[in-house]
Amino acid sequence: MKSVLFACSTLALCASGVQAATPDNAGATSVSVSQTAAGSLFQPTSETSTGTVTVEGKAVSYKAVAGTLVVHPAGWDDAAWRAKQPDKGEPGAEASMFYVAYFKNGVPTADRPITFLYNGGPGSSTVWLHMGAFGPKRVVTADDSHTPAAPYSLVNNAYSLLDASDLVFIDAPGTGFSRVAGKDKEKAFYGVDADGHAFAEFIKAFISKYNRWNSPKYLFGESYGTPRSAVVVNELETGSDIDFNGVILLSQILNFDLSVDTPGFNPGTEEPYVVALPTYAATAWYHNKLPGTRPDDLPAFLKQVEHFATTDYLQALAQGSEIDPATKQRIAQQLAQYTGLPLEYILKSDLRIDGGQFSQQLQIANDLTTGRLDTRFSGPTLDPLEKEAGYDPQSAAISSAYVSTFNDYVRGTLHYGMNDTYKPEINVFADWDFAHKQPGMPFAIRGATNVMPDLAMAMKYNPDLKVMLTGGYFDLATPFYEGWYEMHHLPIPDSLQKNIEYKYYQSGHMVYAHDASLKSLHDDVADFIRRTDNVGG
């Protein structure tokens, strides 16, 4: 979940001699591994267990490994480090990155697809994708209202992605059971480029440890995990000669200038209001706030809104103070028709409504705040006099269920972390470096992060790379049309646009929080993997 804000060089493990997984230990119920790595602050660990999940009526037996790998920041050199007799000096920064991997039993491991999955934040663990989307167990939450307190239900996940791919859920440095330590550890791992490098190094170490170099490879990132995927796939393809078969992006934001969270901080940039309008309309449709007759066909209605947003609305915003009163009145009236907000409020807002305002105002007459991550959710308004929403009802509604069930599952079933604290989220924003060195640039650019050039470079460098964009109509954190807009403005040849496909669902940021959408998401992603894995047969 937790979403966007507004969402190693050499692996310590390489020279440690850690045993790779083999068929000989596949049937073990619990195997603990802890060996000294090349660094001195952390050691890689693992616990192995087995299980079975029934996916859409078919049983899949698997081996699960919960553990950590040690990674270092850019520029770290293991040979140079050893030459300095590290026991006599400061070791520098390290990260111990926690993962849970699921391997299907009884298949040729080397050429079976493998998918690396992570949430975003920045500062979020991957408990959300793990326990809500594709892991073998899934927590049951209320569809669009607050889930009652414990006990929670953890059930067989009939839509686990294990039928199509082996899965590796990864927690970002500092989150979950992942930890960072050493000199300047925040600078070493908390930033767009530092974070992307850590994940790239983790992936290289993982495919070495488990002999997956020749497997079809996929990235699945949600929210801030989508810009992370753009950075990681570009670094691995252009810097390490590792081509990927596909990248799946859920709830995308690649260009933070398009965020509707705080566009008022960036006056003169009008696109955030444009790309958010279809989500406003979808939300008003869901809550029966549209004036007049409610359209029966939501996607068709949203196509109409998208056209207005990118034509009349964008043109009106571009005129700024030069807009004539009659045009402003006409645009405001159409916005009222599409958003369900009062005409007077829209005019007072100068035709520009940000996400926090919309969440606060849509149901203010009922003293309700509309969700941000999923606008289907509503909750009591904290302060009806505030301009913007004071919290996110969806986050409040389901977070306890996810965190509680994972803490129980990881210790009771995966046998990991008995004496450790799992951190579902950490506050990294005081230390996070949003500066990003785009491909071909001699230095990092400070300002709103934009990794569209990274994804574009990866697609041009590997013209067979396929990209799947998925999203929810009711996502106000990363509006679905924002992702569509970004993809249609990627600096790639027109011929590569055919490598991108789009799937949208009647759900929110966490598409999988809605059962019907979870099934569709599973079917779409599994089909994408099977069409692109190059295995044949």
Reported pTM: 0.92
Predicted confidence at residue 76, as pLDDT, reads 79
Tens-digit pLDDT profile for residues 271-287:
999 999 999 999 999 99
Tell me the C-alpha to C-alpha distance, in Å, between residue 407 and each of 97, 134, 140, 235, 400. 17, 17, 15, 33, 11
The alpha carbon of residue 384 and the mean position of all alpha carbons in its chain are separated, in whole angstroms, by: 31
Contacts of residue 18, Cβ cutoff 8 Å, sequence gap at least 6: 33, 35, 37, 44, 209
Other C-beta atoms closer than 10 Å to the C-beta of 297 total 9
The yes/no answer on whether domain 12-257+401-532 falls in CATH 3.40.50.1820 is yes
Peptide bond into 291 cis (omega under 30): no
Report whether 117 contacts 126 (CB < 8 A).
yes
CA-atom Rg of the chain in angstroms = 23
Report whether 207 contacts 213 (CB < 8 A).
yes
Specify which residues 191 forms β-bridges with.
433
- Distance (Å, whole) CA 496 – CA 402: 38
Other C-beta atoms closer than 10 Å to the C-beta of 17 total 9
Predicted confidence at residue 87, as pLDDT, reads 54
Predicted confidence at residue 290, as pLDDT, reads 97
Tokens of 448: 């709103």
- Distance (Å, whole) CA 488 – CA 269: 18
- Three-state secondary structure along 309-365? HHHHHHHHHHCHHHCCHHHHHHHHHHHHHHHCCCHHHHHHCCCCCCHHHHHHHCCHH
Q: What is the DSSP string of 4-43?
A: ------S-GGGGTTPPPP-GGGTT-S--EEE---SSSS--
Predicted confidence at residue 468, as pLDDT, reads 98
Tell me the C-alpha to C-alpha distance, in Å, between residue 149 and each of 133, 241, 515. 21, 48, 20
Tell me the C-alpha to C-alpha distance, in Å, between residue 263 and each of 180, 283, 437. 33, 20, 23
Flag residues of the chain having pLDDT under 50: 3, 6-39, 88
SS3 270: coil
Specify which residues 99 forms β-bridges with.
67, 170
- Three-state secondary structure along 432-458? CECCECCCCCCCCECCCCECHHHHHHH
Report whether 326 contacts 399 (CB < 8 A).
no
Residue among 280, 350, 288 at smallest CA distance from 309: 280
Predicted confidence at residue 42, as pLDDT, reads 92
Tens-digit pLDDT profile for residues 342-363:
999 999 999 999 999 999 999 9
Predicted confidence at residue 6, as pLDDT, reads 41
The angle formed by the CA atoms of residues 503, 509 and 514, to the nearest 5 degrees, is: 80
Contacts of residue 492, Cβ cutoff 8 Å, sequence gap at least 6: 456, 459, 460
The structural domains of the chain, with segments of one domain joined by +, span: 12-257+401-532, 265-391
Q: Residue 75, by phi and psi: left (phi above 0), alpha (psi -120 to 50) or beta?
A: left
Predicted confidence at residue 82, as pLDDT, reads 63
Q: What is the DSSP string of 179-222?
A: EEESTTHHHHHSBHHHHHHHHHHHHHHHHHHTT-TTS-EEEEEE
Report whether 47 contacts 415 (CB < 8 A).
yes
